[in-house]
Amino acid sequence: MTVPKFALYENTETALGKSRAEVVVIGTLQGEKAPVLAPGAEAVDAAFDGKLAGLLATLGASGKAEEIVKLPSLGKLGADVVLAVGLGKAVDGTVTPEQVRRAAGAAGRALAGTARALFVPSTLDLQAAVEGLALGAYKFTEYKSEPGDAPVSAVDFVQPAEGQSRAHKATLKAATAIAESVIIARDLINTPPNDLFPASFAERAKKLAEANDLEYEVLDEKALKRKGFGGILGVGGGSSRPPRLVRVSYKGPKAGKKVALVGKGITFDSGGISIKPAANMDNMTSDMSGAAAVLASVVLAAKLKYPLEVTAHIPLAENLPSGSSYRPGDVLSMYGGKTVEVLNTDAEGRLVLADAMVRAAEEDPDYLIETSTLTGAQVVALGNRTAGIMGSEEFRDRVAGIAQATGEGGWPMPLPEELRADLDSKLADLANVTGHRWGGMLAAGLFLREFVADGLPWAHIDIAGPAYNTGGAWGYTGKGGTGVPVRTIAAVLADIAANG
């Protein structure tokens, strides 16, 4: 899916006069007893003789977050319908960008079947509104014989302040590019594993690289064996569809810092011989969400022309049981020379990531960001919406703060030294699991740390919960792939570009 076509008007009066919108979207705030119109809706309210809030209250509106109430315009506007979306309660008189993003997402879903809409809360955050509306409108219908109402195809916005058209146009362009990249990730995640496997993922990455003038390289199973990528080969050995390692690189104008991105690309995870329970195994089509995120992020870096060098390293494999599968008890020789005793074949993501992280460090990056649907323990500890972020402390905290500011969320987690000894192996340099259930997310982070070059600032973002929504839609997040943490990575890259 592509994002809607966006246009920008300088003020609400002009927009109401010139937009050919079928629906006008306004914001409401939750008041003590009745909804309050959000700033920017004054011109729409005037068309209803100042009685719009009362009419909405009569229809049951309260202004609570993500509430949708529609009413006919009765000829008072060029559009046929007014759609009021709740922003929730203002905090200290202000509305946060995330409130705007979620409200816009709810509006985006409600606008399905609409050709053109006008979004008029003109004093609110433009970037958040564009991102939220584009992502809320998202639908993945490639495999539907009857896809239902199409997403809204065009949306007009009113810029937050007059006299800043150039800045607002730049914001609109950046927000559109960010939404497009999140959608790239969502489309990959939502593609079923019979169509998205290591070789086909690599081909999609190649097409994206060519379309955005990016450097592209892929290692097939023969090259992986020749170069000694034992982790990727071990995990992928049970499938008839062999593994790949993809490298996609962007070098911006006046590139300063070098950033390596690594994302877990298990295109389907059955658990291998340590097989998962059958219930909900279909959700393991999302186990390549990290790979989708880093591929989308390097494409975004090119679109926004960050003054950085950004390279995505994407290990791709299917983890399936067969006569050629790796076994509990095997010892794998990893890329770079370390050996790992396999105690559980369902702890496969860290094995492919380790190979890719060592390969990424060979290019001497200034930072390493790795993301993966790595551990069920992340969901146990932090739930389905909050990523666990580990790594070198200063960079970990920097990434976590940025993740929270974007609205994607993330929480800094420790790497307790007392857990490291539990990864000791009687046969190899280390084992791939501890052998007990305690601190599983943190132990996985400690395992990955063994493959990070000395002195390299790094962050590991465990998105086992946030990457895939198995429940109902909320805010700008529909069911299925979410695209987390593309917006976080984008914001981290922007921060590195600005501050080093």
Q: What is the DSSP string of 16-56?
A: HHH---SEEEEEEE--SSS-EEPTT-HHHHHHTTT-HHHHH
Answer whether residue 161 shows pLDDT above 90: no
Which candidate in 64, 276, 385, 479 is catalytic? 276
Unique residue bearing structure tokens 């790497």: 415
Averaged pLDDT for residues 294-304: 98
- DSSP, collapsed to helix, strand or coil, labels residue 438 as coil
Tens of pLDDT, residues 430-488: 999 998 999 999 999 999 999 999 999 999 999 999 999 999 999 999 999 999 999 99
- DSSP, collapsed to helix, strand or coil, labels residue 166 as helix
How far CA 122 is from CA of 108, 395, 455, in Å, comes to: 17, 36, 46
Distance CA 367, CA 452 (A): 11
Q: Are 449 and 417 in contact (CB under 8 A)?
A: no
Distance CA 19, CA 80 (A): 12
Q: Which long-range contacts (CB under 8 A, 24 or more apart) does 29-37 make?
A: 29/63, 29/86, 29/87, 29/88, 29/89, 29/90, 29/95, 30/62, 30/63, 30/64, 30/65, 30/86, 30/87, 30/88, 30/89, 31/63, 34/62, 34/63, 35/61, 35/62, 35/63, 35/84, 35/86, 36/63
User: Which pLDDT value is given to residue 268?
Assistant: 98
Task: Decide if 350 is catalytic.
Answer: yes
Two tokens, residue 263: 């994302």
Q: Are 25 and 119 in contact (CB under 8 A)?
A: yes
Distance CA 337, CA 496 (A): 31
Tens of pLDDT, residues 315-363: 999 999 999 999 999 999 999 999 999 999 999 999 999 999 999 999 9
For the annotated binding site, the residues are 264, 269, 287, 346, 348
- DSSP, collapsed to helix, strand or coil, labels residue 318 as strand
Answer whether residue 1 shows pLDDT above 80: no
Q: pLDDT band for position 146 (50/70/90)?
A: very high
Instruction: Give the helix ranges, DSSP H, for 191-309.
Output: 198-211, 221-227, 230-236, 289-304
Averaged pLDDT for residues 13-28: 94
| Domains of the chain from N-terminus onward | 5-159 (3.40.220.10), 183-499 (3.40.630.10)
Answer whether residue 163 shows pLDDT above 70: no
For the annotated binding site for Mn(2+), the residues are 264, 269, 287, 346, 348
Tens of pLDDT, residues 104-124: 999 999 999 999 999 987 678
Tens of pLDDT, residues 121-134: 767 899 999 999 99
Tens of pLDDT, residues 26-43: 999 999 889 999 988 999
Task: Decide if 89 is catalytic.
Answer: no
pTM over 0.85: yes
Tens of pLDDT, residues 188-200: 999 999 999 999 9
User: Which pLDDT value is given to residue 124?
Assistant: 83
Averaged pLDDT for residues 221-239: 98
Answer whether residue 366 shows pLDDT above 70: yes
Averaged pLDDT for residues 143-150: 94
What mean pLDDT, rounded, does the chain reach? Answer: 96
Distance CA 79, CA 118 (A): 9
Averaged pLDDT for residues 249-254: 95
Q: pLDDT band for position 47 (50/70/90)?
A: very high
- Within 8 A by CB and 6+ apart from 336, the residues are 355, 358, 451
Averaged pLDDT for residues 286-312: 98
Which candidate in 350, 396, 398, 487 is catalytic? 350
Averaged pLDDT for residues 60-85: 96
Percent of the chain with pLDDT over 70: 99
